[in-house]
């Protein structure tokens, strides 16, 4: 399995923090936003779904990795496994609600630079999740492929010999899906582009524009030239008189 780069903070950083009464017990109210048991459990489920979509891991396998014995969990998942423990998740989620409330109150969330950053991050997430979903719809894995993939894993990796058939199939499915995803990625991207109207400006020389490096105002500011101090010329030291020839 590929390495997991997403931290819990990133996974839940796009949630909505404004909650109304939902009929479940209120844990506490943070600047008027009610944190209830239902809103907390919904956030937890959303984090699982986000992880599943962004890392291309089936949600049932994400849940399995959270509940199985640690020895059966892929090494790459162990760190996130700890972050998804109920108490740890609540502490982080609660902390984020408090900080976001403070940020909103100070006007931080309304700053134009922060809005642009959030917009860019939202675009990155949508890009990844939409393409992953479109790829998923194109991939079909047969029972025969799973069986063959499982046999290859057992032959290649000694530790795979101790896996149950279901676990072996899950591992084989992940590998097959990864391979097929790479195969169909370009065609999926091309198909997506066909659904969007793109009109190029023929008067704009894109190649010329891209050939120019970015200019950074912060780096282009020249420092004021330093004025060198004018020093008086040092008096020359007379050369010593030659010694008399004896």
Instruction: Let me know whether 99 and 28 are in one domain.
Output: yes
Domain end residue (candidates: 110, 130, 147): 110
Instruction: Let me know whether 97 and 117 are in one domain.
Output: no
**Residue 75 backbone phi and psi in degrees, to 5:** -55, -40
CA-wise closest residue to 43 among 120, 114, 97: 97
Q: Is 211 part of any domain?
A: no
Instruction: Let me know whether 116 and 98 are in one domain.
Output: no
Rounded mean pLDDT, 49-70: 86
Q: Is 4 part of any domain?
A: no
Q: Is 1 part of any domain?
A: no
Q: Is 144 part of any domain?
A: yes
- 54 with 129: CB under 8 angstroms? yes
Note the pLDDT of residue 101.
Answer: 95
Judge whether residue 5 has pLDDT over 50: no
Question: Which of the residue ranges 5-9, 19-23, 66-70, 100-104 would you say has the lowest mean pLDDT?
Answer: 5-9
The maximal CA–CA distance of the chain, rounded, in angstroms, is: 118
Q: Which helix (H) or strand (E) holds 27?
A: strand 26-30
Judge whether residue 226 has pLDDT over 90: no
Q: Is 233 part of any domain?
A: no
Instruction: Let me know whether 83 and 145 are in one domain.
Output: no
Rounded mean pLDDT, 149-165: 89
**Residue 205 backbone phi and psi in degrees, to 5:** -85, 90
Q: Is 246 part of any domain?
A: no
What is the distance between the alpha carbons of residues 36 and 21, in angstroms, rounded to a whole number? 8
Instruction: Let me know whether 106 and 30 are in one domain.
Output: yes
Number of domains, the chain: 2
Domain end residue (candidates: 60, 88, 110): 110
Instruction: Let me know whether 32 and 105 are in one domain.
Output: yes
Q: Which pTM does this prediction carry?
A: 0.72
Residue with tokens 């790459």: 76
What is the distance between the alpha carbons of residues 183 and 205, in angstroms, rounded to a whole number? 33
Instruction: Let me know whether 125 and 187 are in one domain.
Output: yes
Burial 161-179 (b: 16+ CB within 10 A, else e): eebeeebbbbbbbbebbee
Domain end residue (candidates: 110, 129, 147): 110
Instruction: Let me know whether 26 and 61 are in one domain.
Output: yes
- 25 with 101: CB under 8 angstroms? no
Instruction: Let me know whether 64 and 126 are in one domain.
Output: no
Q: Is 234 part of any domain?
A: no
Instruction: Let me know whether 150 and 185 are in one domain.
Output: yes
Q: What is the pLDDT of residues 180-192, one digit of tens each?
A: 999 999 999 999 9
Q: 22: which 2 tokens?
A: 């939902």
SS3 per-residue string spanning 216-243 = CHHHHCCCCCCCCCCCCCCCCCCCCCCC
Note the pLDDT of residue 3.
Answer: 44
Note the pLDDT of residue 65.
Answer: 86
Instruction: Let me know whether 27 and 84 are in one domain.
Output: yes
- 227 with 169: CB under 8 angstroms? no
Q: Is 11 part of any domain?
A: no
What is the distance between the alpha carbons of residues 14 and 96, in angstroms, rounded to a whole number? 11
Could you tell me the residue range of the domain that residue 89 belongs to? 21-110
Instruction: Let me know whether 36 and 104 are in one domain.
Output: yes
Q: Which helix (H) or strand (E) holds 28?
A: strand 26-30
Query: Which residue pairs, CB below 8 angstroms and at least 24 apart, start in 104-108?
Result: 104/31, 105/31
């Amino acid at each position: 399995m590929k390495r997991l780069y997403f931290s819990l903070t990133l996974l839940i950083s796009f949630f909505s923090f404004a909650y109304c009464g939902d009929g479940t017990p209120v844990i506490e109210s943070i600047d008027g936003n009610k944190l209830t048991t239902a809103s907390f459990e919904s956030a937890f489920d959303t984090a699982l779904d986000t992880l599943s979509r962004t890392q291309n891991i089936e949600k049932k396998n994400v849940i399995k990795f959270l509940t199985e014995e640690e020895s059966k969990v892929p090494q790459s998942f162990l760190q996130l496994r700890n972050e998804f423990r109920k108490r740890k998740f609540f502490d982080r989620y609660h902390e984020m609600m408090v900080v976001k409330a403070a940020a909103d109150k100070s006007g931080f969330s309304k700053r134009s630079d922060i809005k642009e950053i959030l917009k860019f991050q939202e675009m990155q997430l949508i890009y990844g999740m939409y393409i992953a979903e479109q790829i998923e719809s194109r991939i079909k894995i047969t029972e025969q492929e799973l069986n063959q993939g499982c046999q290859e894993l057992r032959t290649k990796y000694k530790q795979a010999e101790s896996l149950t058939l279901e676990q072996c199939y899950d591992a084989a499915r992940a590998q097959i899906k990864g391979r097929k995803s790479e195969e169909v990625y370009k065609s999926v991207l091309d198909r997506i582009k066909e659904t969007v109207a793109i009109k190029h400006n023929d008067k704009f020389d894109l190649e010329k524009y891209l050939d120019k490096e970015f200019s950074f105002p912060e780096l282009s500011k020249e420092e004021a030239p330093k004025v060198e101090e004018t020093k008086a010329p040092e008096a020359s030291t007379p050369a010593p008189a030659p010694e008399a020839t004896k």
